[in-house]
Amino acid sequence: MDKRNDMSTSTGFLIVLFSEGSGLHYIDGIGYPISKGQLHFVFPGQEHHLEVSYETKAHKLVISTMLFEEFSCIEELYYIKHTYSPVFNLNEEVFESIRHEMLRIEGDLELMKNDEIFKKILLRRIDIISSVIKYEVVQYFENIQNSDVNQTIKKLWVLVNQHCNIQKNVSWYAGKLCITPNYLNILCKRILNTTISDIINQKIMYEAKQQLRFSKKNIKEIAFDLGFACPSSFTAFFKKNAGLTPVAYRE
């Protein structure tokens, strides 16, 4: 890798696996030290650049935003993005597992071109990497600082994942956490740099996109599944957040 590269904005989800070297990886202006056996995440829209030693070796994988949204670990990854370091120190077994799949992906890309079979193999390898990352994220959650604030945010994340289809009211979540809506929003802004409403909307959009892409339900059925009173209100919500209608997204 080059000793230094220019700042760039990630248009997809970037995974960087470092096998050798040292230096700094700047993500949104914060410098993260680089060392062997690390996995770095850069999310869509984040700015980043590298300042590394000449002996640094790394494998990079850029995943489109649409494909990234299919990851089984996407909720945990977004939580990591807003709350903790985007750097994971991997043990040797996990490192080799991810490295193996990334090397195979590099080989598959050379062969793939327009071959549908290789495209399916490629997606399978990305799914394996996603599964390994999810396991690491779960382990990470179990080891994070056990402060009252972190516990509140973790409980909020669980509540949103379980109830966002039927509960979109900030006061309901605040009541479940035994705090005021105002204080809940203060915590979200301070720790996650977002609002509780944005967290709820993000989860609903994820569920909506999953159903639009992978189910045979019509728009009316999906709208009711997600707690909307009518298809038109769901369409307006989806277009506001995605920039296109549910029908256009499905096509």
177-204: pLDDT as tens digits: 999 999 999 988 877 767 889 889 888 9
Token duo for residue 104: 């195979």
SS3 of residue 131 by DSSP = helix
Question: In the prediction, which pLDDT does 38 show?
Answer: 93
Last-in-domain residue among 121, 143, 165: 143
Residue 1 lies in a domain: no
What's the domain count of the chain?
2
Query: What is the band of 142 on the pLDDT scale with cuts at 50, 70, 90?
Result: low
pLDDT at 2: 46
CATH of the domain at 54: 2.60.120.280
Identify the pLDDT of residue 250. Answer: 87
Do 158 and 116 sit in the same domain of this protein? no
Q: Which amino acid is at 62?
A: V
Residue 229 lies in a domain: yes
Q: For residue 2, tell me if it sits in a domain.
A: no
pLDDT at 1 over 50: no
* Same domain assignment for residues 18 and 118: yes
Q: What is the pLDDT of residues 206-248, one digit of tens each?
A: 889 888 888 889 999 999 999 999 999 999 999 998 888 999 9
Whether 124 is in a domain gets the answer: yes
Which range marks the domain in which residue 222 is found? Answer: 148-250
∠ CA 50-51-54 to the nearest 5 degrees?
110
What pairs with residue 13 in β-bridges? 63
Asked if residue 163 and residue 48 are part of one domain, the reply reads no
Helices (DSSP H) in the chain: which residue ranges?
65-68, 74-83, 92-112, 116-143, 148-163, 170-176, 181-187, 196-214, 219-225, 231-242, 246-250
Residue-averaged pLDDT of the chain: 82
45 Ramachandran zone, left/alpha/beta (phi>0; psi -120 to 50): left
Query: Does residue 176 sit within a domain?
Result: yes
pTM over 0.85: no
Q: What does the pLDDT average to over 41-51? A: 86
